[in-house]
Amino acid sequence: MSARYAGDRTTGFASPAADAVEGPIDLSQILDLKNPSRYPVRVRGATFMGRGILDGDILIADTAGSPQVGQLVIAWAAGRVLLAELQKRDKAWWLISGDDTHPPLQVDPARDVEIWANVTSVVREKA
Amino acid sequence: MLYGLIDCNSFYCSCQRSFDPELKHRPVVVLSNNDGCAIARTAEAKQLGIKMGEAWHLVRHERKLSDVRWFSSNYPLYADMSRRVYQVLLDYSPRVEPYSIDEMFLDLSGFAVELHAHCGAMRQAVQQITKVPTCVGWGPTKTIAKLANGLAKDRPELEGLCDLTDSQTRQKFYRNVSVGEVWGIGRRLLPKLHDAGMRTIEQFVEAKPAHIRKIMAITGVRLQAELQGESCLQIAEIAEARKGMACTRSFGRPITTYEEMHEAVTGFAAKAAEKLRAEDQDAAHIAVFIQTNRHRRDEGWYANQFSISCEPTNDTFAICQHASRLLKRIWLNGYRYAKAGVMLNDLAPHGQQSTLFSTVSTKPEQESLLAAMDGINQKFGSGTLFPLSAGIKRDWKPRQAMLSAHYTTRLEEIMEAQAW
């Protein structure tokens, strides 16, 4: 069967590559999708075009890390799920809009503005 | 030894909340298969008086419940979230036993110093990574860990953590806690223990073993030893391969015709056969059952089951044929059927138990066909390819009118974020 031949088990001449098979590249491994803290999230809107993120892109979000300046994050704000940039001002964290259409929004779980995950990778199904 | 038990709070509801900010402060209830009754409730929903097992169709229009968000059960989501919780826990304990989808036993031996901080950090990690809140209890035996977990959950002042390692701490609790709180002591047993003068755990622990043995045999004696801190139950890690496989469903509406029931049973047989192949097993015994609604006996009550032994197989088509023959034996016209199922038993590794007089051993081309079918169903979603006899319309399927997205298992349903 086709799935069982990986460049190794030839019938006539022995494959010189038999001990060197590495298999195809596994993107789920590279994106670490089996890690319990990794979640795929779909982007709606294009305000982060400047950072190379388009409408319909899939982001790989990681819920395990800690906040970093300049990091793209998935945030929850008053019942909405947002993609925003994280900045620090006066010892507080702020959500920054991608194209300055919205004023900065202070991260404050007491007011239902909180970071859900850091964005670690972008996947575009059709380039 | 030191055992821990971590339990996810209102697990199904918490999973729904993990992906939907609008649920944050709202009462959430998850319903059983077929949108029947409440099987998980958030604290807010419990406060509104919604009981476990409460029938959704009876209370859905009550005004005081207008703010409640009801969900059909989304088991693919809960299974994946349970997998995530398990994986996080492996960073905090070398051995984790998933006891149920939402509670796991932990081997905490070797963390004796700073155990409180360790469990607190573990709880915090599960919360951050899966967004699911938990409680942790621990002690020298599994029974004590389970008890500690219950206390951590019931007593807010413990802040989700309860340590029953110390026998003096235990004694204090034992004196004030009902023996009914102990793992494995159910409602049926309780009156008997009460009659024997055992109301609190302390009374149970101090009773004569012979006395307990009379009421609950050896399990009771073992339970007593466990409560005294003597460990009888070990960490089991992952459950062994199942001895049987079943596919059973309640219908979204009653089935009254043989044709529809035949479709349903064939579909269940196909699904069960698929599960069998996923675990690379054969079945040598097949059973089919059908039944009417147990709660509507006024409409006529009928339930029957029939089974046969057969050549070991995991071939969908062979199993569907057997199921079809079995159904013919038990079918009666004139009833309104509410539930049916197919059960496969006498499982053994595929291809191992071929019998001397084997006549129907799966042919290589049949194996390829089944492998291709499984491949297509894995790639394009379960139920893409199925035997036509399982029917196409299938509008008797269980109701799942309030199903949320499969946020973590289907790419077309992942969480969406608005670029801000």
- A83 vs B85, B130, B420: nearest CB: B420
Q: Do B416 and A41 touch (CB under 8 A)?
A: yes
Query: Is there a contact between A76 and B417 if contact means CB atoms under 8 Å apart?
Result: no
B52: burial class by Cβ within 10 Å (0-12, 13-18, 19+)?
exposed
Residue A69 in any domain: the answer is: yes
Q: CA of B361 to nearest chain A CA: how many angstroms apart? A: 21
Using CB atoms, which residue from B129, B414, B419 is nearest to A37?
B129
Nearest CA-CA distance, residue A117 and chain B, Å: 9
Q: What pLDDT, on the 0 to 100 scale, is given for residue B296?
A: 79
The residues, any chain, with a CB within 8 Å of residue B391's CB and separated by 6 or more, are B260, B263, B264, B266, B267
For residue B257, what are the CA distances in angstroms to B94, B331, B343, B354, B398?
Answer: 54, 10, 22, 37, 17
Q: Which of A37, A42, A48 shows the shortest C-beta gap to B416?
A: A42
What are the chain B neighbours of A44 within 8 Å (beta carbons)?
416-419
Cα dihedral B42→B44→B47→B50 (10° resolution)? -50
Q: Is the dihedral of CA A22, A26, A29, A34 positive or negative?
A: negative
Interface contact B90, partner A, CB < 8 A: no
For residue B83, the surrounding DSSP H or E stretch is helix B75-89
Q: Are the C-beta atoms of B340 and B261 separated by less than 8 Å?
A: yes
Q: Which residues of chain B have pLDDT under 50?
A: none
Which residue on chain A is closest to B411 by alpha carbon? A40
Instruction: Measure A71 CA to nearest chain B CA, in Å.
Output: 14
Phi, psi for A21 (deg, rounded to 5): -70, 130
Kindly report the nearest CA distance between residue B78 and chain A, in angstroms.
Answer: 13
User: A17 lies in a domain?
Assistant: no
Domain ranges of chain B: 3-163, 167-227, 245-390
Residue A114's contacts (CB-CB under 8 Å, 6 or more residues apart) are A75, A76, A77, A107, A108
ipTM greater than 0.85:
yes
- pLDDT value of position B360: 53
Encode pLDDT of B169-222 as tens digits.
999 999 999 999 999 898 889 999 999 999 999 999 999 999 999 999 898 999
A8 occurs within a structural domain: no
pLDDT in tens, A56-104: 999 999 999 999 999 999 999 989 999 999 999 999 999 999 999 999 9
Asked if the C-beta of B95 comes within 8 angstroms of chain A's C-beta atoms, the answer is no
Q: Minimal Cα distance from B26: which residue of A?
A: A79
Please give the residue range of the domain that contains residue A53: 27-123
Residue A12 maps to a domain: no
Within a domain: residue A1?
A: no
Reduced to 3 states (helix: H, G, I; strand: E, B; else coil), residue B274 is helix
Q: Please give the pLDDT value at position B386.
A: 84
Judge: B24–A45 Cβ closer than 8 Å, yes or no: no
- Which CATH superfamily includes the segment(s) B3-163? Reverse transcriptase/Diguanylate cyclase domain (3.30.70.270)
| 3-state helix, strand and coil shares in percent for chain B, rounded to the nearest 5 | 45, 20, 35
Chain A nearest-CA residue for B90:
A36
Helix (H, G, I), strand (E, B) or coil at B182: coil
> In this complex, which of A36, A46, A80 lies closest to B130 when CB atoms are compared?
A36
A118: nearest CA in chain B? B129
Partner residue facing B419 (CB), from A39, A47, A78:
A47
> For residue B161, which of B169, B177, B150 has the smallest C-alpha distance?
B150
pLDDT per residue as tens digits for the range B255-310: 999 999 999 999 999 999 998 998 888 999 999 999 998 887 788 899 999 999 99
Strands B3-8 and B103-107: antiparallel
Nearest to A41 among B21, B88, B414 (CB): B414
Number of cross-chain residue pairs from A and B with Cβ atoms under 8 Å apart:
86
User: How many structural domains are present in chain A?
Assistant: 1
Options 1.10.150, 1.20.1260, 2.20.25, 2.60.120; which CATH number does B167-227 get? 1.10.150
Asked if residue A71 is part of any domain, the answer here is: yes
User: What's the CATH number where A55 sits?
Assistant: 2.10.109.10
Confidence bin at A2 (pLDDT 50/70/90): low
**Residue A10 domain-assigned?**
no
Cα–Cα distance measured from residue B147 to residue B298, given in angstroms and rounded to the nearest whole number: 43
Residue burial B73-82, b: 16+ Cβ < 10 Å; e: rest:
bbeebbebbb
Which residues contact residue A76 at a Cβ distance below 8 angstroms, ignoring those fewer than 6 apart? A82, A112, A113, A114, A116, B21, B24
CATH for B245-390 is 3.30.1490.100
